[in-house]
Chain A
């Protein structure tokens, strides 16, 4: 199932969710949704950096990285992000 697992990244400073299978996200649309919700977004074309409670990196292939080493907080942020931008279940 897509986004079923949040795992600590190799540097142990963030949690990442890697969808299986990889996706092809519409980043401009996601950026629009986030900005409509008042989230500041840096658009680097192949990825977005969203300033939520913590910085969140959203890659075009669907990988999401949440800059928090707290699993509970990272899970809450992922849930909020999914609610905001309607990522695939």
Chain B
């Protein structure tokens, strides 16, 4: 399950844990485009959810900053969020394969931000083969916040923290897969993923 430190991903994880799924968390560490706070929040989210469901949830932390730098240097900025998501999915899928996980999951809900339009979700998730589960897909923000408050993760998510500095001024809300694949021809995708996954830390 991809965890960002925001409001949505712990709520999404809550629903999957409630159904009895065994989960592991993956965080794409976006420093230096953010700060330490997302990771600190995730550690606390997992503590809250782990106590509620009486289990330890492993956390993989993968360095995503070097990939972001490559994307910023070599690709068009307006599709940066879609490219970024494709790398997140690919990295998470590698971890899932290593851990024999059978699906990927996120806290995405439709239309909330630029990367979560149907068109961009399609472009992003075409990078991976494992099924992707999105428990919150039809929720609106108020509903998600209400659940976050009831399970004790809202206060953690809303602590001060830096937003992603790699988000372009005007991120694309529609992207075509052909266009995205052309952008990826400018970078060495496999080597970036290999490097990212090799440097994963388990907490």
**Using a CB–CB distance below 8 Å, which chain A residues touch chain B?**
9-14, 42-47, 49, 55, 57, 61, 65, 67, 69
Given the known A-B contacts A46-B72, A47-B72, are A69 and B160 also in contact in the complex, defined by CB atoms under 8 Å? yes
* B contact patch SS: loop
Per the 8 Å Cβ criterion, residues 69-108 of B in contact with A are 69, 72-73, 77
Contact A13 B161 (CB under 8 A): yes
Determine whether B165 belongs to the interface, using a CB cutoff of 8 Å to chain A: yes
Q: Contact residue range for chain B?
A: 10 to 19
Roughly how many angstroms separate A42 CA and B14 CA in the complex, as a whole number?
A: 37
Contact B161 A11 (CB under 8 A): yes
Contact A13 B169 (CB under 8 A): no
Tell me the smallest distance from the CB of B128 to a CB of chain A, in Å. Answer: 25
Tell me the smallest distance from the CB of A41 to a CB of chain B, in Å. Answer: 11
What are 22 pairs between A and B in contact, CB < 8 Å?
A9-B162, A9-B163, A10-B163, A11-B37, A11-B163, A12-B160, A12-B161, A13-B35, A14-B162, A43-B73, A44-B68, A44-B69, A44-B73, A45-B72, A47-B165, A49-B32, A49-B33, A55-B35, A57-B33, A61-B169, A67-B162, A69-B160
Q: Give per-residue flags for B154-169: 1 if the beta carbon is below 8 A from chain A beta carbons, else 0.
A: 0000001111011001
Residues of B within 8 A of A13 (CB): 35, 37, 160-162
Tell me the smallest distance from the CB of A11 to a CB of chain B, in Å. Answer: 5
Given the known A-B contacts A13-B35, A55-B32, are A42 and B69 also in contact in the complex, defined by CB atoms under 8 Å? yes
Given the known A-B contacts A45-B73, A49-B32, A55-B32, are A11 and B160 also in contact in the complex, defined by CB atoms under 8 Å? yes
